[in-house]
Structure 1
């Protein structure tokens, strides 16, 4: 795959914008009063949450952080962010203490949450809030099939035998963050209806923009086609199509807020 193909594709990701936005709005609804300071959209992507954050905190500067130049270009076109920074979340630090660090479906890509989350909390202004939502689909068929099929078809490139879920349970985040302030943590399973997609199973269309990316990056076009054929066959058994070609896709997400 080319370098451009390895970057995030805003159009592919935005295909399910409504389904991806709903958890962000559910998280935002749990953010209460804030101290003085800026709002940081950490892992802002193409700016899918920008309008909601700007509407809620209209008097504050909104800063976006993401490592994908392609996604940041899309976010910049919205004209909503006061500033956009191309930085890896793993090494990011704010110039001044923000009032809110809001991260929607991004921190699952960053390792070592027991170190990462206290560090992020430490950047906040007194009374500030860390609000996080992440998918928790590691054991779901949609994601398990990706690992199983890639590992069996291309064992020279994929070994997931020691891989564990990037996200802990809500209770584990509550225990980790409680010493730092007031915590709320919960999990929600959304039953998502995925509309028909031409030439592929709707669940593949959903995962292709996110969870499938690390696998696709290591395959040639011919190999990727073979992989997708096997993946589609498995998806059809686990997520049978409805009469109109749509599919119901249960999707679990973990949420937490920390007020320091």
Structure 2
């Protein structure tokens, strides 16, 4: 299980929250009474949900105590629950089961997604978004570096990688119980001050499983230094010195019959 650092995650809080806003804006529920935010992180997604539905009872669920501590500080009146997504079960059916950038960590979506949809009340919705850029240059660099002669002894077992499927896979899973399904992808172009900004972005998420395999801070820094050399090559600077980081995300909303 990767460790999580709320301050690293929120270093790009605006960019990470934009996809959450885009997802919430597409949900066509008038006034859901109960909302569960799975993989709630430091509370930024719950904040967006409450802005859209201020009268809803929102429960944030996360497996990281560090993230939950930040969430409690951010929104002290929200109920926060330390539970893994794979074991969470609703006390009673809820109008909206929501997840912002979390469902790519658990595996076995074939069973997980229908089980989560089973927690939704009739007329309610299951909505989520996940990164879908597993083959982006930065991710390829991480995997190639971990497999290189200088590092492969640290990565004798596969790291915990992202899990997602093509959108038709989710349509087929949910269609038997859904009255309507919305599916789409969006590619965001995040503007970074330089190549090191891409490293900082991934240190808050995708790099965590790799860095957690390295016990010493010296090894972690050496890994990042070598990764930065490749990032500088693959993500050229624009004329103003900044770097564009394409980041694709996958969105789904299923409304229960």
What TM-score, normalized to structure 1?
0.90
* 70-79 vs 153-162, which moves further: 153-162
* 19-28 vs 242-251, which moves further: 242-251
* 160-169 vs 245-254, which moves further: 160-169
* 173-182 vs 14-23, which moves further: 173-182
Q: 2:116 aligns with which of 106, 117, 120?
A: 120
Instruction: Give the Å deviation of 1:173.
Output: 1.6
Residues of 2 paired with 1:15 and 1:164: CA distance?
Answer: 22
Query: In the alignment, which residue of structure 1 is the partner of 2:145?
Result: 149
SS at match of 1:77: helix
* Dislocated runs of 4+, deviation >3 Å: 34-37, 159-165, 242-245
Work out whether 1:210 is the aligned partner of 2:205.
yes
Query: In the alignment, which residue of structure 2 is the partner of 1:47?
Result: 43
Instruction: Give the Å deviation of 1:244.
Output: 4.6
Is contact 1:50–1:80 with CA below 8 Å preserved after alignment? Answer: no
* 217-226 vs 52-61, which moves further: 217-226
Residues of 1 paired with 2:116 and 2:77: CA distance?
Answer: 20
CA RMSD of aligned residues (A): 2.1
Instruction: Give the Å deviation of 1:34.
Output: 5.2
SS at match of 1:119: helix
Q: Deviations over 1:200-252 (max 9, x none)?
A: 71110100111110111111222222211211011001111235542100011
Cα gap change, 1:112/1:99 in structure 2, threshold over 3 Å: closer, same or farther?
Answer: same
Query: In the alignment, which residue of structure 1 is the partner of 2:176?
Result: 179
Residues of 1 paired with 2:161 and 2:84: CA distance?
Answer: 22
Query: In the alignment, which residue of structure 1 is the partner of 2:188?
Result: 190
Cα gap change, 1:216/1:132 in structure 2, threshold over 3 Å: closer, same or farther?
Answer: same
Q: 2:99 aligns with which of 92, 96, 103?
A: 103
Is contact 2:43–2:75 with CA below 8 Å preserved after alignment? Answer: no
Extract unaligned runs of 5+ from structure 2.
Answer: none
SS at match of 2:91: coil
Query: In the alignment, which residue of structure 1 is the partner of 2:82?
Result: 86
Q: Deviations over 1:74-125 (max 9, x none)?
A: 1001235531000011101111211101100001111111100000000111
Matches within 5 A, 1:1-260: 7-33=3-29, 37-79=33-75, 81-152=77-148, 153-158=150-155, 166-181=163-178, 182-196=180-194, 201-219=196-214, 220-260=216-256
Instruction: Give the Å deviation of 1:33.
Output: 2.0
* 175-184 vs 75-84, which moves further: 75-84
What TM-score, normalized to structure 2?
0.91
Is contact 1:137–1:251 with CA below 8 Å preserved after alignment? Answer: yes
Cα gap change, 1:80/1:98 in structure 2, threshold over 3 Å: closer, same or farther?
Answer: farther
Residues of 2 paired with 1:175 and 1:164: CA distance?
Answer: 24
Residues of 1 paired with 2:10 and 2:160: CA distance?
Answer: 28
SS at match of 1:32: coil
